Structure 1
Amino acid sequence: MSNKKIFILLPDGVGLRNFAFTDFYTRGKVATEMDFIFWNNTPFDLSKMGYEEIKLQQKKPSLFLEVLKNARNGIELNCNIRKAKDNVYDSYRFPFSYASFKSRIKSYTIHFLIQLFDSEKGLKKLRNLIKKTERKTNFYSESYALLKMQKPALVFCTNQRISLAIAPLLAAQDLKIPTGTFIFSWDNLPKGTMVVETDFYFVWSSHMKKELLYYYPYINENQIIVTGTPQFENHFQKDNIIDKEIFFKQNGLDSSKKYICYSGDDITTSPYDPNYLLDVIKAVRVLNKKGIQLGVVFRRCPVDFSDRFDSILEENKDIVTAIIPNWVKVGEEWNTILPTKDDFILQLNIIAHTELVVNLGSSMVFDYAAHKKPCAYMNYNPVTSDSLSAVDKIYNYIHFRSMPDDAVVWLNSPDEIADKIELMLSDEALKVVEKAQEWFEKINQHPAEEASERIWEAIDKICKKEIC
């Protein structure tokens, strides 16, 4: 194709992390002669970063499209249960809302559509209905006209789960422009979150490729490209690591102490996160009495703006220091809380200057594995809890079934936290790190620092029709 433009579709802020705030763009300039244009539906002005962009002016999906998307998700989970004979997929469902008249109508309609189309054949009909509906929208017409004028060689979508991306991708396909999408997270495919359908699918690993073929049998093997994800590349950019003394001074840390990191989860995943943090603080006090001299760096989940940690942080200033993620809140929904490029450097330095990380089932295990440092998972319910917050539900999720034995240190009760942290500070941690690295290599194609190059190499081949 003579045109050398690549459209990088950002339907929401999730794709910024991987494709705007990493070196993905600059590496593309080296790897290919193509021009890159961000088709941008986020509030970020990417032109200030020197990127060429076309703004979508904050388009939003219609209510009907959201109903169809949620019905599709429900049917996919039903199909997964029948296929795998495993009820774990029920745990991925979001509760329906009946709080208002509008929400009740929406929920009843989704229920009706799930019952109407609840089979593999029905799912195919619903997928076609979504496409038919979107082709009738003004957004489709606008996208079609723009693409017809611009004639890009490829439209690359940064997120497979956003319904807003359906119309522009359909317009591209109807114009015979190749399309691709990136599966943006390691746990997405079992959840039934696939919304877009493209010519090519970029995945983290061979493991994810197998998942994609299992959950979406209409996708052919030659449509799937294993690349890894750019989100871990910053850990290998050692020039961005600040001198320890400077970092400690900037963040009010005590240079006489070693620090462990407590990495928070969102309030839905871990409603008892403050309890876990407090248990870790108490364990550190025990260790400090033994003369080990530790502190805790608390990095909250970037989409958690609650005050639920405030009293614990205030009452334990001598032990714990909060370092606030450098994200920007531009709306109330989780996907309107957006990362910044500076936060990559901040996260890198927190990891570089702490000894280990503690959390509830977070992918931070891989960030620390990239630095050859261990991770501990909280593995108990700190208070009487319902089934929605029980840790046995968390660790039964499909993505944890890929974990080798002993890839993390399990904290099974508050009483054993101190001893296990002490163990993680010794040479015994090397065994855990080795297993974590094995898990990391299964989840994400290695070398991890070359993901962007692999993506651009595949894009270049698609544009040259060497992959089709």
Structure 2
Amino acid sequence: MNKTLGLVITDGVGYRNFYLSNFLNEAAARFEKVIIYSGLPASVFDAHESENIKIVELPVFVEPFKTWFWRKFKEVAHLQLHKKFFGINDNLKANKSSSASNRGKATRLIYYLTRHFHSEKIISFLEKKQLSSIANHQVSRECVDFLQNDRPDFLFFTHQRPPYVIPLVYAANKLKIKTGSFIFSWDNLASKGRMAAPFDSFLVWSELMKQELLYFYPKTSGHAVRIVGTPQFEPYVMQRYEEGKPEFFQKHGLSSDKKTICYSCGDISTSRNDELYIEIIATAIAEEKISEPVNLLVRTSPAEEPERFSFLKEKFPFIRWNYPEWFISRKDHPEPWSQRVPSESDLVDLRGVLNYSDLSINMCSTMSLDFMLFDKPVINPTFGTKENDLYDDQKYLKYSHYERVMESGAVAIVKNEEELLREINFSLKNPNTRLKEQKELLKMQIGKPLEGTSARIAKALKEFSGT
């Protein structure tokens, strides 16, 4: 049976995971046609459009107040329902508002109401109100037209959370087209609010993520969930992203006779102490407190510009910087971060960083998993608490996904400068100390081998489409 797959790529991360991986080749081999519904400008894909791959640029959706209200109501109700989980409760507190704006006042009303009304039944009602609120929206009508013309057999969303996918979900429901979504990240279920919309089926990383999904979304049937791994790591086993060590070291100005410490940054919203940690490491190198000469390579977050590190670049000229090559594809978008798009050369750089560094340091990032895939020791500095003057990053150790990392023994958690420097010296000399624990953690979190990830996803989507 010939089938058409609708592939909804909402942002730059979806582009990386499902376009720069091997997924499109696998999907094109199993479906007669693949239609990419893009939240990015079509020009990002134009050069790759082919006979059985079509690109449709979605109109920019600016969420009306009433749609925002029902979505916010739904998300806060979900947080209230599951606030016994530390990460969810932390986000519940963080989303409160003291603003005098209409949205600020509405948020306070929502918080008051959801203290008493937050059952699954209430949340389902709110989801229906959210979807019905855009029934007559111009973007919804355009999405209905797209789907009527293309008639995809299945509509697959590469991210379950962006609010601007709602018109397309509404259109699919109206036309009785089945929908599915990929759970985007390892922390999305046990620390974030409700999904953007209800979907018919899901792809998840692992058995652990499947159980989380069934717990937080009890109306989901286990038969509607497939364990596939995640495509974000697949480029690490794809030949086209390989680069030789001499080329990598020359490109980044690294000394080949030294080991390399890589500090990978988060963005300022969650990783505000990055500058402190980098300065401590660089000072220790300058003062010869590290047990051997080392390169220090810093990879900044692709979600922000690197200006906050400018003083470090001036103070420590020996630091080598890797600024991710993610270009801004569209300005003046309601979600500007979503319009940052990675280049293929950045994936080459990232793979080289992971492969040729000897030690990873980051603040409780997914990058811990990336480095573990290359058998590298990982240190997580978390100096900040509620009691000191630093941003409280120790709270992330209580989030469900990172509690498991801490309990596994796969990383070194350090809470002050002395511990950090001691662990750097220990890990440089004993890089394989936690290797067994790392392998076990990766098996639990990712669930499937990196090889064949896209093939598993395409196969699952073909099954969901009705063959």
Distance 2:61 2:253 in 1: 42
Does the CA-based 8 Å contact 2:99-2:105 persist in structure 1?
A: no
Distance 1:341 1:385 in 2: 41
- 1:212 maps to 213
- Specify whether residues 58 and 406 from structure 1 end up closer, same or farther in structure 2 by C-alpha distance, changes over 3 A only: same
- 2:284 maps to 283
> Over residues 190-239 of structure 1, what are the superposed CA-to-partner deviations in whole Å (9 max), with x where a residue is unaligned?
21241221111111111000000111111111111111110001111255
Distance 1:56 1:4 in 2: 22
Structure 2 portions without partners, runs of 5+ = none
SS in 1 for 2:262: strand
Tell me by how many angstroms 1:134 deviates: 3.0
AA matched with 1:222: H
Structure 1 portions without partners, runs of 5+ = none
Does the CA-based 8 Å contact 1:375-1:408 persist in structure 2?
A: yes
- 1:195 maps to 196
Query: How do 1:61-460 and structure 2 match up within 5 A?
Result: 61-81=63-83, 85-86=84-85, 88-93=87-92, 94-99=94-99, 101-108=101-108, 110-111=110-111, 114=114, 117-190=117-190, 191-238=192-239, 240-287=241-288, 290=291, 292-318=292-318, 320-329=319-328, 330-331=330-331, 333-381=336-384, 385=388, 389-403=391-405, 404-426=407-429, 428-460=430-462
Name the TM-score, length of structure 2 as normaliser.
0.90
AA matched with 2:302: P
Tell me by how many angstroms 1:87 deviates: 5.0
Distance 1:20 1:315 in 2: 39
Task: Single out whichever of 335-344 and 115-124 deviates more from structure 2.
Answer: 115-124
- Specify whether residues 459 and 120 from structure 1 end up closer, same or farther in structure 2 by C-alpha distance, changes over 3 A only: closer
Tell me by how many angstroms 1:398 deviates: 1.4
Distance 1:383 1:336 in 2: 34
AA matched with 1:317: P
- Specify whether residues 348 and 193 from structure 1 end up closer, same or farther in structure 2 by C-alpha distance, changes over 3 A only: farther
> Over residues 348-379 of structure 1, what are the superposed CA-to-partner deviations in whole Å (9 max), with x where a residue is unaligned?
01112211210100111111111111111003
- 1:26 maps to 25
SS in 2 for 1:322: strand
Distance 2:115 2:136 in 1: 25
- 2:35 maps to 37
Name the TM-score, length of structure 1 as normaliser.
0.90
**Runs of 4 or more off by more than 6 Å in structure 1?**
none
Task: Single out whichever of 106-115 and 442-451 deviates more from structure 2.
Answer: 106-115
Tell me by how many angstroms 1:88 deviates: 4.5
Distance 2:116 2:141 in 1: 30
Aligned length, in residue pairs: 456
SS in 2 for 1:37: strand
Tell me by how many angstroms 1:96 deviates: 4.0
What percentage of residue pairs aligned between the two structures are identical?
A: 26
Tell me by how many angstroms 1:306 deviates: 4.8
Task: Single out whichever of 280-289 and 179-188 deviates more from structure 2.
Answer: 280-289
Does the CA-based 8 Å contact 1:4-1:33 persist in structure 2?
A: yes
SS in 2 for 1:298: strand
SS in 2 for 1:262: strand
Does the CA-based 8 Å contact 2:74-2:127 persist in structure 1?
A: yes
- Specify whether residues 80 and 386 from structure 1 end up closer, same or farther in structure 2 by C-alpha distance, changes over 3 A only: farther
Instruction: Kindly report the root-mean-square deviation, in angstroms, between the aligned alpha carbons of the 2 structures.
Output: 2.4
- 2:11 maps to 12
Does the CA-based 8 Å contact 1:22-1:341 persist in structure 2?
A: no
- Specify whether residues 61 and 3 from structure 1 end up closer, same or farther in structure 2 by C-alpha distance, changes over 3 A only: farther
Task: Single out whichever of 127-136 and 258-267 deviates more from structure 2.
Answer: 127-136
AA matched with 1:132: S
- Specify whether residues 34 and 370 from structure 1 end up closer, same or farther in structure 2 by C-alpha distance, changes over 3 A only: farther
- Specify whether residues 131 and 116 from structure 1 end up closer, same or farther in structure 2 by C-alpha distance, changes over 3 A only: farther
AA matched with 2:101: F
Does the CA-based 8 Å contact 1:4-1:153 persist in structure 2?
A: yes
- Specify whether residues 295 and 54 from structure 1 end up closer, same or farther in structure 2 by C-alpha distance, changes over 3 A only: same
Task: Single out whichever of 40-49 and 226-235 deviates more from structure 2.
Answer: 40-49
Task: Single out whichever of 55-64 and 351-360 deviates more from structure 2.
Answer: 55-64
Does the CA-based 8 Å contact 1:158-1:182 persist in structure 2?
A: yes
Does the CA-based 8 Å contact 1:260-1:295 persist in structure 2?
A: yes
Distance 2:187 2:166 in 1: 21
Tell me by how many angstroms 1:80 deviates: 0.6
- 1:56 maps to 58
Task: Single out whichever of 102-111 and 352-361 deviates more from structure 2.
Answer: 102-111
Tell me by how many angstroms 1:317 deviates: 1.2
- Specify whether residues 395 and 39 from structure 1 end up closer, same or farther in structure 2 by C-alpha distance, changes over 3 A only: same
Task: Single out whichever of 148-157 and 110-119 deviates more from structure 2.
Answer: 110-119
